[in-house]
Amino acid sequence: MKNEKKILLLCGKESIKKNGVLEQIRKALQDKEVIEFFGIEQNPDIETCMKALEIARKENIEFILAAGGGSVIDAAKYIALAFYYEKKDPWQILLKNETEPNRVLPFGCIQTVPGSGTEFNNAFVLSNRSKKLKISFYSHKLYPRFSVLDPETTFTLSQKQTAFGIVDMFVHVLEQYITWPRKAPLQDRLGEALLVTIKEIAHDLLANPNDYELRATSMWCAAQAASGQLSRGVPTDWATHFIGHEITALYDLTHAQTLALILGGVWEWNFEYKKKMLAQYANRVWGMVGDEDLLAKMAIIETDNFFESLGVPTRFSSLSLDAKKVAADVISNLSKREFTPLGENRSININAIKEIILSRS
């Protein structure tokens, strides 16, 4: 960012005004020309991103600084990608109808809502509310130039935001860990280190939101969980995220909330297949002992209990949602487009998604 003069400062709504980040940024960028864009919403929408993109192009922006949570950073990645795209509708790149441009606008991140881990990777998720879509995308060009993680900026997060962040980072690890036995002991242990650490600090963090060390640990766990190192050379699942995105697109539920609703259902659906890793997880992370079947079943119950203990429900009825209607809406939305079965063994077809949602009513 040293050489770039014209910066687009991309922000959410209010939080960076409250936590002092905006003031710090304005001071640090005194010698730059900074265009501020406020209003990136949770689950960033293509419409808002297109407004920011238009400004970025009109102002000949040279660098994007994203300050806020994962939504703001994801929006920055999309704008960076779309900036040099010459045709009319850059949404087409996400649908893989068009090849992506050869270059992207450089960007940096100031992450203030730990959870998504997007500050440490090359992926983003974008919503298109008018089409009821939420699509993930990644490109090797989309790594941030830098990411600033300052635990003090997270002191103002609410209990709910903190709990959602914990659930999101926890599930990120699990999506890369509960698969078939992989004979990859280091990846196993790296995942377990994160899971145990997150589990150990979670309740303390909710009780002590201004504790610097706890905030720092949570921030570092979130970044590590989604950095890509856990998935090197091993299969990954991500079915829970895919189904969760569909539910968010239809019901505008918070991302982490959808994960807590779905994860146990995916595990039950693929129980025989994932049994060994579920049992290992129950033993090494939750300290349980017993035979494999029992341990694997207890892993599902214990994980649900953990999310519930953070105040994040794991059943649709707790949110006054009818699972039958959710399942029907998701299936109808999915049947309108191309769909590849999900999960590390590609066993989750459209009917399985229906069963998974119904099992969590």
* Span from 167-175, 263-271, 285-293, 321-329 in contact with Zn ion (CB under 5 A): 167-175
* Span from 38-46, 126-134, 161-169, 184-192 in contact with Zn ion (CB under 5 A): 161-169
Q: How far apart are CA 81 and CA 74, in angstroms?
A: 11
Q: Between residues 63 and 112, which has the closer beta carbon with respect to Zn ion?
A: 112
Please tell me whether residue 127 adopts helix, strand or coil conformation. Answer: strand
The nearest distance, CB 59 to Zn ion, in angstroms, is 32
The nearest distance, CB 244 to Zn ion, in angstroms, is 8
Of the residues 45, 74, 119, 168, which one makes contact with Zn ion according to CB under 5 A: 168
| Residue whose CB is nearest to Zn ion in the complex, by number | 168
Q: How far apart are CA 278 and CA 74, in angstroms?
A: 31
Q: Between residues 176 and 270, which has the closer beta carbon with respect to Zn ion?
A: 176
Burial class (CB in 10 A: 0-12, 13-18, 19+), 288: middle
The nearest distance, CB 241 to Zn ion, in angstroms, is 6
Q: Between residues 168 and 237, which has the closer beta carbon with respect to Zn ion?
A: 168
Q: Is 119 in the site for Zn ion (CB under 5 A)?
A: no
The nearest distance, CB 168 to Zn ion, in angstroms, is 4
Q: Between residues 168 and 329, which has the closer beta carbon with respect to Zn ion?
A: 168
What are 349-353's contacts with CB under 8 Å, separation 24+? 352/269, 353/243, 353/246, 353/327
Query: CB of 234 within 8 A of CB of 176?
Result: yes
Chain centre distance of CA 78: 15
Query: CB of 123 within 8 A of CB of 136?
Result: yes
What angle is formed at CA 156 by the lines to CA 18 and CA 253, rounded to 5 degrees?
Answer: 100
Q: Between residues 68 and 101, which has the closer beta carbon with respect to Zn ion?
A: 68
The nearest distance, CB 172 to Zn ion, in angstroms, is 6
* Span from 50-58, 166-174, 181-189, 230-238 in contact with Zn ion (CB under 5 A): 166-174
Q: Between residues 168 and 188, which has the closer beta carbon with respect to Zn ion?
A: 168
The nearest distance, CB 360 to Zn ion, in angstroms, is 18
Q: How far apart are CA 312 and CA 319, in angstroms?
A: 10
Q: Taking each helix axis as running N to C, give the angle between helix 185-207 and helix 212-225, from 0 to 180 degrees, rounded to the nearest 10.
A: 150
Residues that bind Zn ion (CB under 5 A): 168
